[in-house]
Structure 1
């Protein structure tokens, strides 16, 4: 904030100025001295250094020259504390000349702080004039603040960054645009817009990124916006976020397999188990064609849906044998599911040995064997009786 005054000597005394040894000559010489005090930046962000600029100017050419001997920045008006900062210009102010002295102080907390500039003048005749000028320092956000956080990186190097834009200013900002750039990650969307932000409000924008590895990633954010007064402002901020490994991605396997045969159909029952640490969605199990095996006309596939990490869900699918066999056949099961937006397809082989089916020709030959044996027995009996009778 800026304070300016054109000071007559009497006004200086009324405004807590202390005059030591100042006679009528001193009053005439210091009758027109202008003192401007300004703190910049206004407001200043926390942790920054504020400059308090004090400009002393003689308003008339014929005024008595005064030397600006010392300027101090203090926390109190009465000057009882040690100076925060001080300078000894030892420069005369006369004939329209001006002297500017810059004093600095660092502020870590937000808020408004009162400071006082103490000035000491000495005339060419040794008269001393001291005065105090107040100044208010405002510490707060000078721009809307941006911050960045990261999710866990998938095995394929994908994640989303969360960009937060917060308006800590006392008035609304409009047309907030953030342009992002980074050498650490691949940004799928570099430009993000928030139409307006009321004081104290924030907006969160998802930023999809690719080619991400674990560790701290840096992103440059150029923020452009309009103030409530229509002034266009911009600032570039360096943001960082730490990406963590999400662990093993979702992977679907078949567990608890059990195969039964119903005629020429084979029924596979089991569980679609997620052995990963993330969720899998749109999980589907389907019988595929293979050697002596084909999908059945009905229930050849089963839609499981979502399977959470370390969880499972049961399924049942049907295939059919394309020819009679007693040999072990392989039933291909295709597993398809989605992980982190990527489609995954893999095939699991399930082996099954069909149950033994007696050969029909063997059954017919076995049926003829019994009557033949019976005939032999009859012949043998009749022959035996004849032999005994002959004897």
Structure 2
């Protein structure tokens, strides 16, 4: 055989091999199927899913027109070889196919590793004669490296029965935007308010935040799953999920009240709501009752766990200095109403001004200067304190300084004052001082006597000359008597 003919024969043989290989490549998978029930087509969306993403496999099952009778579809499954128990999804009791009819079945699948993978669509059923039939159809999928938006979650440990927020952040790190965004939060043993949220689009390098209110129903380690479904720039519909550990504690409710009398200002008590439990205390209404006083009401929106909130209740219509006060706080924890009570004895001494440290000195002008302090010995503030010299027969005020306006004096505090007066030293040893002030809107007036010790004056001591004259007379009398006795003796 010539070289040309050998080359032609070799080329022909090579062409035959290629033809046979091509025939083997395109041989439809229905060759291994039942003669009456076949899978005519199987597609997957997206066409190139990312590793770890969930995608859909949709198969068309047909009972051929020449079949002997109906075919009952008991189960359709998709298997990922090497995927273990989690690599198989199925649907059961799908109905009956009459001869010449078809049905479509969609199932989800996930492949964790990138590369080419062959999945199997399996159909299980039986004919009218009761013969079991199994049909297998391979589906080849190219799985690419995952490039998808990221999901992150931020939340505190949960408490059974107590609602708390779970914040989800969707971050699109792709070079293109995504659209038709759908975010879902799921979990076992939890109640989720509005578990599904939607958005029109999320641009490249952009973030979106979603807050879900979650109420656990069982203590222990639970799982929360966040699912993001979106359409990418190629038009493919994609899904990605993240699962988070969610620790849930049993409910601990412990609410206490601290009540203290407010010093200064108008009569009042401070009520501190102490939340020693592990759930929020909400919608707190604080009231007070007493047989000797009237208390106002206060509201607190929320007290977080291991935290406090303080409010002020005004006390009016006081009928006693130390009234018994009962304070109640009605509140809500984990959707249920409760009440805490505390009874204390208040101490309310109305503001009262005492004039203390009074000193009286003589001035060079002949008037008297009075200095001292206006001291508030009560537990409430006083206002408009004024100290003045009250005029009398032998005492009168002198300007400037006839009256001194002190102003407000806080509880247990004091303020200084200075007054000027004219005193008739021969007839007066006290100076009347009048103090006026307001307590709870009522005017009070009282008078204090300041002791006045007049200085020594000639008028008070008397003249020195009459005393000298008396002494001279006495001396002359004594001398005369002495001379008279001597003469008689001589």
TM-score (norm 1): 0.43
Higher alpha-carbon Rg? 2
TM-score (norm 2): 0.36
